[in-house]
Amino acid sequence: MASSKTEPPPPQHHHYNPLPHDQNDNVLPSSYSSHLPQRRTTILLTVLLLLFSSLYLFWPSDPSVKIVRLKLKKVHVHTRPRVTIDVSMAVRIKVRNGDVYSMDYDALEVGVGYRGKRLGQVRFQQGHVRAFGSSYVDAEVEFNGVGVFSDVVLLLEDLAKGTVPFDTVTEVRGKLGVLVFHFPLRARVSCEILVNMMNQTIFRHNCYEVSTLDLHG
């Protein structure tokens, strides 16, 4: 009796069908994704640097005042009927504007004092200084018959020595006009002067600019 053999079924072939991709999905390379935050940080730092540079350049600053020339014309002390002083000086003042805007100053004052006491003050004309420019003012300061009642003894001692210390204070006040805004400005320079009474000349002088923090504070 012959045995019947059953043949194995034919092998089945499985086909792989990949899932469809969304047409709007883009796969970025890993190197590009890692550099993206660094690019944003660099752009942000560049913008901040440009912003601070613009503020530094365009932000208004106080002018600079300098005594270019100081010449003594006359100093005379009267002892009768009371102790008084006659003072006459010629001053050349330089006002410098370091801003990108033009500046208008409405007050330029020069005062003369003796040992901290103001003898007198003179006010001069208004002026205009262009952007990054300078303006020069020639001032004649003259006071006659000024009394020094509280410092008579010190003045007599200085006269006996042949030298008398004076001080001058020059101050300029103005404003910058930027569009519809106006920024007030102020600057001051102070000088210590030692006068030789014998030959009517300035023996020594020392000038220094007063800090704007002291003026505005």
Distance of CA 96 to the CA centre of its chain: 11
Q: What is the mean pLDDT of residues 19-32?
A: 52
Euclidean distance between CA atoms 214 and 217, whole angstroms: 5
The pLDDT of residue 122 is 87
- Per the prediction, the chain carries an average pLDDT of 77
> What tens digit of pLDDT does each residue of 92-135 get?
999 998 888 888 888 889 999 988 888 888 888 788 888 889 99
The whole-number pLDDT of residue 54 equals 54
- Any bridge partners for residue 177, and if so which? 182
Q: Would you say residue 184 has pLDDT above 80?
A: no
Express each pLDDT in 33-82 by its tens digit.
Answer: 556 677 777 777 777 776 665 555 556 678 888 999 999 998 888 888 88
Residue 129 lies in a domain: yes
Parent domain of 186: 64-216
In a domain, 6, yes or no: no
Per-residue model confidence (pLDDT) at position 37: 72
List 142's β-bridge partners, or say none.
88
Within-domain flag for 34: no
Per DSSP, the chain holds a count of helices (H) and strands (E) of 3, 9
Structure tokens at 114: 């003796």
Going by pLDDT thresholds of 50, 70 and 90, the confidence category of residue 10 is low
Which helix (H) or strand (E) is 46 found in, with range?
helix 30-58
Report the chain's terminal Cα–Cα distance, integer Å: 127
Q: Which of 64-68, 123-127, 197-201, 212-216 has the lowest mean pLDDT?
A: 212-216
Judge whether residue 193 has pLDDT over 90: yes
| Predicted model pTM | 0.66
Residue 49 lies in a domain: no
CB 202 within 8 A of CB 196: yes
The pLDDT tens digits of the residues spanning 134-159 come to: 999 888 888 888 887 777 888 888 98
Residue in the structure block whose two tokens are 């730092």: 45
Q: How many residues does the chain have?
A: 217
Note the pLDDT of residue 191. Answer: 92
Structural domains in the chain (count) = 1
Per DSSP bridges, beta strands 127-129 and 103-114 are antiparallel
Give domain status of residue 70, yes or no. Answer: yes
Does residue 32 have a pLDDT over 70?
no
Is 72 among the domain residues? yes
pLDDT of residue 192: 92
19, part of any domain: no
CATH code of 168's domain? 2.60.40.10
CB 85, CB 78: distance < 8 Å: yes
